[in-house]
Amino acid sequence: MKNYRRTLACLTPLLVAATVGLTGCGGGSTIAQPKPLTQLPNPEFRMQVLWHANGGDGAGKYESGFEPAVANGRVYVANSNGEVVALNLANGHRVWHVNTDEKLIAGPSVIDGTLLVGTRNGEVIALSAADGSKDWSADLSSEVIAAPAGTSKEVVARTVDGHVAALDMATGDRIWTVEDNVPNLTMRGTASPVIQGNTVYIGTDGGKVQALDLATGEQRWEQTVALPEGRSELDRIVDVDANPLIDGNTIYAISAGDSLVALSKNGGQIGWKHKVASENNLAADNNNLYATDMDSVVWGISRATGEPVWKQDALKYRKLSAPAVVDGHVLVGDYEGYLHWLSPSDGSIEGRGRPFGEAIRAQPVVVGDRAIVLGAGGEVAAVRFDARGS
């Protein structure tokens, strides 16, 4: 089920699927059925599970911002029971495990030996990546459902009420806070901040991308990605919940309001715009952007022009994860725990595997020619797709 949140009136929160239609506060709904998987007659690639481990109970019933983090030969995962686990990247063996006794909902991210997680109670918690010991915690205004970002000196976190806060990396002390208006009805998730140099880039629930000064929080520029359109509040949702993807002097941003744009990093000017709606992070290679839209159609889009190169609808309504580019191919997970291996040139499905039997919602993390995959129930696997006969 897709999760929405309302700040006013009759739905608090409203739980609907991405394909639901609503009329007012008592509207009916229709839910499209996931496309059944068809057998691949002669798959060119086969999946190999290099290791499999248990990272706890995962997100449970919650829509979360949990994602695996990889650094210094370890994989770090967190779960809604407050646990954080470190695994050996080479074999999946557990290195350490701690229980924070907090209601975790996002992260971890790892910066210079520090793990950062967000909680449902509006906290950012910093842990040692070496052993999981707690360094500090900081109270923010509301739930932190996206992984915090950071540098060696600052931590930046976004809360669901539209606030962005910068904290001191060493102590957790507040440096600055900025606020943004939040529409009455929005998607459940939020974008994580992205830091480059002395600028923080963030997507907003109002369909914009903002560039903020890292030292002060002062806004350098703001650009609208999508404008609210349509008769119902659901139609008018324009959240930018995917993290801005930055490459060189270009920022790629995608909105639930049916808009994918290329922006200038320096001033936010729009280079091109294409109609596709998504709340999932983008992926890219040298030629294309890759997106999974609100109906779980996979798109390959030219980075140069914004024109579609291909789209793959064989996985429609299968609640796909954000894509990742692994060893030159496009990898997506689905609600049944399948991984699908797509050709970057035409989107054809060239391989498939099921490392575990639970939904894959988090974007796979790429490490060389393999991917680290996190299941909604806490299972973790390292996988690789090999050409048959190799």
Residue 180 — φ and ψ, nearest 5°? -140, 145
C-beta pairs of 150-155 under 8 Å, 24+ apart in sequence: 150/109, 150/111, 150/112, 150/114, 150/116, 150/195, 151/111, 151/112, 151/195, 151/214, 152/111, 152/112, 154/195, 154/214, 155/111, 155/116, 155/124, 155/126
Range with the poorest average pLDDT among 8-17, 87-96, 161-170 = 8-17
Q: How many domains does the chain have?
A: 2
Residue 369 maps to a domain: no
Which residue range(s) make up the domain with 163?
A: 65-188
Same domain, 70 and 181: yes
pLDDT digits (tens, 9 = 90+) for 290-341: 999 999 999 999 999 999 999 999 999 999 999 999 999 999 999 999 999 9
Residue 266 maps to a domain: no
Residue 84 maps to a domain: yes
Would you state the pLDDT for residue 14? Answer: 33
Would you state the pLDDT for residue 8? Answer: 34
Q: Is there a contact between 371 and 68 (Cβ–Cβ < 8 Å)?
A: no
Would you state the pLDDT for residue 3? Answer: 60
Q: How many residues does the chain have?
A: 390
| Residue 26, SS3 per DSSP | helix
Residue 103 has pLDDT above 90, yes or no: yes
Query: Average pLDDT of 197-212?
Result: 96
Residue 308 maps to a domain: no
Nearest to 235 by CA among 190, 189, 183, 192: 183
DSSP strands (E only) in 67-133: 69-71, 74-78, 83-88, 94-99, 104-111, 114-119, 123-128
Which one of 188, 206, 228 terminates a domain? 188
**Taking CA 344 as the corner, what is the angle to CA 342 and CA 347, rounded to the nearest 5 degrees?**
50
Residue 331 maps to a domain: no
Residue 27 has pLDDT above 90, yes or no: no
Encoded amino acid at 251, one letter: I
Would you state the pLDDT for residue 32? Answer: 87
Which one of 132, 156, 188 terminates a domain? 188
Residue 209 maps to a domain: no
pTM: 0.92
- Name the DSSP letter for residue 236: T
